[in-house]
Chains A and B, each alone.
Chain A
Amino acid sequence: KNEVEQSPQNLTAQEGEFITINCSYSVGISALHWLQQHPGGGIVSLFMLSSGKKKHGRLIATINIQEKHSSLHITASHPRDSAVYICAVRGTGNQFYFGTGTSLTVIP
């Protein structure tokens, strides 16, 4: 049983395309995180959100608490956006639950 489901698992896009990655979760949460992992392993936090929408540069994250769903959007995608994007939720306790990630490749 996966508490966090992401789709798609793999995504290939042309440079400049608008990209959407989806995340659904089944547990009560205190916050949802979008993480980015580049080849080599390092993970950085992109967004932490508990309601509404956040924007940072070309990245937009939204969450619908009632539907237990979040989306990560990338506008005007660029090859340097190629990475694995991971959705994670922090449950009402101390644990984090992670999706298996979406591998994004942006082709020039």
Chain B
Amino acid sequence: DVKVTQSSRYLVKRTGEKVFLECVQDMDHENMFWYRQDPGLGLRLIYFSYDVKMKEKGDIPEGYSVSREKKERFSLILESASTNQTSMYLCASTLGLAGAGEQFFGPGTRLTVL
């Protein structure tokens, strides 16, 4: 039973390219999150969204933007990819604005920027 999907498992891009990472959830969750995961640093929040067309910066938003035009879809955009954006990108979603909803993760996209 698929809950959170991401558009690609592996992606290789060149420096300066515009990159789109898409995340779709089928659980009607309000909250969606984009993280990057790097060795020794754990998961770091890039952006999150608590409703359609709403977005909030996380801890490391520089170099990224997001789009949430529909409730089920949350896109992460790298306007001009750089080598330091090579990472594993994970999308997640939770139900509810407040409270303690379980977080569901997508399978991740391993992005390499050459």
Q: Which residues of A contact B (CB under 8 A)?
A: 30-31, 33, 35, 40-45, 48, 50, 86, 88, 90, 94-96, 98-101
Q: Does B105 make an interface contact (CB < 8 A)?
A: yes
Selected from B41, B90, B98, B101, the residue in CB contact (under 8 A) with A43 is B90
Given the interface pairs A42-B105, A94-B48, the reply to whether A30 lies near B98 with Cβ below 8 Å is yes
Known: A41-B90, A42-B105. 7 other contacts (CB 8 A): A33-B102, A41-B88, A45-B102, A90-B101, A94-B50, A95-B48, A100-B42
Selected from A30, A42, A43, the residue in CB contact (under 8 A) with B100 is A30
Q: Which residues of B contact A (CB under 8 A)?
A: 31, 33, 35, 40-45, 48, 50, 56, 58, 88, 90, 92, 97-105, 107-108, 110
Bound Cα distance A88, B92 (Å): 13
* Nearest neighbor of B97 in chain A, beta-carbon distance: A94
In the complex, are the beta carbons of B33 and A96 less than 8 A apart? Answer: yes
CB distance from A98 to the nearest CB of B (A): 4
Bound Cα distance A41, B88 (Å): 8
CB distance from A22 to the nearest CB of B (A): 15
Chain B residues closer than 8 Å to A43, beta-carbon distance = 90, 92, 105, 108
CB distance from A31 to the nearest CB of B (A): 3
Selected from A41, A48, A100, A101, the residue in CB contact (under 8 A) with B108 is A41
CB distance from A15 to the nearest CB of B (A): 27
Chain A residues closer than 8 Å to B56, beta-carbon distance = 94
Given the interface pairs A41-B88, A43-B90, A94-B50, the reply to whether A50 lies near B42 with Cβ below 8 Å is no
Given the interface pairs A42-B108, A94-B97, the reply to whether A101 lies near B102 with Cβ below 8 Å is no
Chain B residues closer than 8 Å to A30, beta-carbon distance = 98-100
In the complex, are the beta carbons of B97 and A90 less than 8 A apart? Answer: no
Can you list 17 residue pairs at the A/B interface with Cβ under 8 Å? A30-B99, A31-B99, A31-B100, A33-B102, A35-B105, A41-B88, A42-B107, A43-B90, A43-B108, A44-B105, A50-B100, A95-B48, A96-B33, A96-B103, A98-B35, A100-B40, A101-B42
